[in-house]
Amino acid sequence: MFVCFKKNRISGRRENKIMLVKIFCDKFKSRGAIRKPIVFHAGLNTVLGDRNATNSIGKSTLLLVIDFVFGGDDYLNPKICKAVNNVGHHRICFTMEFNGTKYHFSRSTDNPKQVEKCDDSYQKLGVIKIDDYLIFLSDQYGIDSKFISFRDYVGAFFRIAGKATNDTSRPMHKFVEEKETQEIDNLVKVFGYFDSIKSLRDNQTEIKRKESYFSFGKKLGYIAPDITKREYENIDKKITEISNKIRELEQHDERAFSNLDPEKADIVANYKERLSNLRRKRTLLTARKLALESSDDYDVSKEKIPGLKELQGFFPNIDIRKIEEIEDFHRKLKSILFSQRNEEIEEKTELISLINQEIFSLERKLNELGVNSSPSKTILREYKELCDEKEAAENAKKKYDEQKQIKEDKKNLSLELQKKIDTINVMIQNSVNPIMSDYTNNIFQSQNKNSPILMISSDKEYILETPNDTGTGTQYLGLILFDLSIMKSTKLPLCVHDSYFPKNISDSTLLGILRLYLSLSKYSKQSFISFDRKESYSEEIEQIIDSTKVIELSDGNELFGFPWNKKKNETDL
The pLDDT > 90 percentage for the chain reads 47
- Residue 230 vs residue 512, higher pLDDT: 512
Element (H, E) at 128: strand 124-129
The pLDDT > 70 percentage for the chain reads 79
- Residue 323 vs residue 176, higher pLDDT: 176
Alpha-carbon Rg for the chain in angstroms: 48
Quick one: pLDDT band at residue 157, thresholds 50, 70, 90? very high
Mean pLDDT check: name the lowest of 19-33, 283-297, 353-367, 503-517. 283-297
User: Judging by DSSP bridges, how do beta strands 124-129 and 111-118 pair with one another?
Assistant: antiparallel
> In this predicted structure, what is the pLDDT of residue 45?
96
Contact 406, 210 (CB under 8 A): yes
Quote the crossing angle between the two packed helices 507-519 and 377-444, to the nearest 10°.
120
Mean pLDDT check: name the lowest of 106-120, 231-245, 511-525. 231-245
Can you give the three-state secondary structure of 363-395, one letter per residue? HHHHHHHCCCCCCCHHHHHHHHHHHHHHHHHHH
Contact 120, 102 (CB under 8 A): yes
Q: What are the pLDDT digits (tens) for 64-99?
A: 999 999 999 999 999 999 999 999 999 999 999 998
Does residue 21 surpass a pLDDT of 80?
A: yes
> In this predicted structure, what is the pLDDT of residue 319?
62
Q: What is the mean pLDDT of residues 124-149?
A: 95
Q: What is the mean pLDDT of residues 142-150?
A: 92
Best CA proximity match to 106, nearest among 28, 24, 33: 24
Quick one: pLDDT band at residue 5, thresholds 50, 70, 90? very low
Quick one: pLDDT band at residue 13, thresholds 50, 70, 90? very low
